[in-house]
Chain A
Amino acid sequence: MTLPFLILALLTLAGGVAAMTLRRLVHCALALAISFAGLAGLYLNLGAEFAGLAQLLVYVGAIAILIVFVILLTRGGDADPDSSFSPASAGSVVIALAVFAVLAWAVNTSSLAHVATLQPAPPSDKTGTLQIGQALMQHYVLPLEVIGLMLTAAMIGAVILALRDKRIAAEPKDSELRAS
């Protein structure tokens, strides 16, 4: 439980809490980005450089930005701040706390949590990017291809879903006329 770990953990958690409780959506998105950055730091702390940087690239660089864009497009900033929380928010918090309690209890009661000596850090030449690339291309080539396909499909799907086509834009008006 070293200090860097604690600071990074605190950062992550604070960012997360902020992301979930702030009123204005843009603030939430930015806090989320901080949280993701903290996570990336944690990965780096734990020796997973590639994962950490990938996290930084993808989560902070893509997802958080994407969220900001969508907030922009959906006028989320104009939403009524008083009604940010749903009616049953108290109970929901309790449920979340209960989940945490259970998970903490599980961690505590497991034997792993109380093992004195842990695995030493693996040498970095065994866990470098080269090894990751080799593993991906040799051992995990199938999931890699599937992930490629999936990303393609997701990209196409997202584009189609979000497309404000003139034809499609015209159709809802026609169907609205027809429905009325």
Chain B
Amino acid sequence: MNPLAGCLLVSALLFAIGLAGAITRRSAILVLAGIELMLSAANLNFIAFWRFGPHPEALTGLIFVIFSIAVAAAEAAVGLALILAIYRHAKTSDVSEIGEMRG
């Protein structure tokens, strides 16, 4: 088990934890948190492959992760604003009670 595999496993485990939280917790904020965790796990994956993959001086993985962090920030901001708006409308931030957009 080389370090790459170790990093990948950690990343996978973090991803699974994030997923478990996202589909288990009732609060919308914690769902978002889980999603952030999943995104971070993917970032870790990228960094691991940048470090242990060919041509690290091309900085591809790193740049990607920088952009990913930016996007994650924007997404977190918008998502939390949405949660606020929904909270104002439905008086609750419980995802199991907001089921109006159904088929």
Contacts and interface: CB of A to CB of B under 8 A. Distances in A.
Interface of A: 1-2, 5, 9, 12-13, 16-17, 19-21, 25, 28-29, 32, 35-36, 39, 42-43, 46-48, 50-51, 54-55, 58-59, 62-63, 66-67, 69-71, 73-74, 76, 79, 83-87, 89, 92-93, 95-97, 99-100, 103-104, 107-108, 112-116, 118-119, 121-122, 126-127, 131-132, 135-136, 140, 143, 147, 150-151, 154-155, 157-162, 164, 172
A51 B96 contact: no
B80 A70 contact: yes
A35 B26 CA distance: 21
B85 A162 contact: yes
Contact of B47 (A51, A85, A114, A126): A51
Nearest to A147: B70
B27 A16 contact: no
Given A46-B51, A122-B51, 7 more contacts: A16-B17, A19-B30, A20-B25, A67-B32, A83-B26, A132-B63, A158-B81
Contact of B40 (A59, A85, A92, A100): A59
Contact of B18 (A16, A43, A164): A16
Interface in B52-84: 52-54, 56-57, 59, 62-63, 65-67, 69-78, 80-84
Counting from the closest, the 9 A-B pairs by CB-CB distance are A20-B21, A154-B74, A96-B20, A100-B16, A161-B81, A103-B12, A113-B5, A158-B81, A122-B56
Nearest to B96: A86
Contacts, number: 250
Contact of B37 (A5, A35, A112): A35
Contacts of A58: 69-70, 72-73
Given A119-B52, A143-B67, A150-B74, A48 B27 contact: no
Contact of A103 (B16, B21, B50): B16
B51 A74 contact: no
